[in-house]
Amino acid sequence: MREKILEKSKELFLNLGFKSVTMDEIASALGVSKKTIYKYFKNKTELIAAVTDFIFSSISTGIDMICELKKDPIEEIFDIKRFVMYHLKDEKSSPQYQLQKYYPKIYASLSKKQFDVMRGCVIKNLNHGVEEGLYRKNIDVEFISRIYFNGMVSIKNKDLFPLDHYSMNTLMNYYLEYHLRGICTEKGVSKLEKQLEEKL
């Protein structure tokens, strides 16, 4: 039952936002009483903490599996983006923004974990790209891994990028192209352009 509660809550939170969804709505969507949910989670904050951990774990596992395939680094970045977008349902409600505003402690803990995982993944991707001659040899891998994370967080700020102007999918595509054009060699740029053509 705990898993079912997490799955349904995840779906509702990602579609409607962490603040917007009530415990009554979760219970109703599951066809159970609120009492059943409270058997597993003592309040909404505890449920949100568990759901964000649940989402984080499943996305991290999926990203690890993509990285293990040892694909071309540019293809890998786009595969990870597609995988994350599929799991976050295009973030229509800007859930990260609501989490930051209404549940700052949960947001801070999640951000730290995201940074650690993303930094490791980006560093591997950058080193692999340099070895393959797709990224420039003189890039500062540590600096780029940090700036990449910062940019990914910033595009989710709906004050900077209102969702009625840009979908999250569009923003991520723009950001990946911006990131890759800054570090690619000529060989890398031609691979990037192939990826962008395939997307269209």
User: Residue 73: is its pLDDT beyond 70?
Assistant: yes
Give the residue with greater pLDDT, 166 vs 38.
Answer: 38
Cβ-based neighbours of 145, under 8 Å, separated by 6 or more = 118, 119, 122, 123, 126
46 within some domain: no
Residue 60 structural domain: 52-199
Domain count, the chain: 1
57 within some domain: yes
Q: Residue 186 burial by CB count (10 A; 0-12/13-18/19+): exposed, middle or buried? A: exposed
- What pLDDT band is residue 92 in, cutting at 50, 70 and 90? low
192 within some domain: yes
Q: Report DSSP letters for 105-149, one per residue.
A: HHHHHHHHHHHHHHHHHHHHHHHHHHHTTSB-TT--HHHHHHHHH
Q: What is the DSSP letter of 184?
A: B
pLDDT for 104-124, tens place per residue?
999 999 999 999 989 999 999
| CATH number of the domain bearing residue 132 | 1.10.357.10
172 within some domain: yes
5 within some domain: no
- Please tell me the number of Cα atoms within 13 Å of 7 on its side-chain side: 5
Q: What is the pTM of this model?
A: 0.86
User: Residue 165: is its pLDDT beyond 80?
Assistant: yes
171 within some domain: yes
Give CA–CA dist 181/179, Å, rounded. Answer: 6
144 within some domain: yes
- What pLDDT band is residue 127 in, cutting at 50, 70 and 90? very high
3 within some domain: no
- CA triple 155-71-117, angle to 5 deg: 45
pLDDT for 19-69, tens place per residue?
989 999 999 999 999 999 999 999 999 999 999 999 999 999 999 999 999
Q: What is the DSSP letter of 169?
A: H
Instruction: Provide the β-strand partners of residue 135.
Output: 184
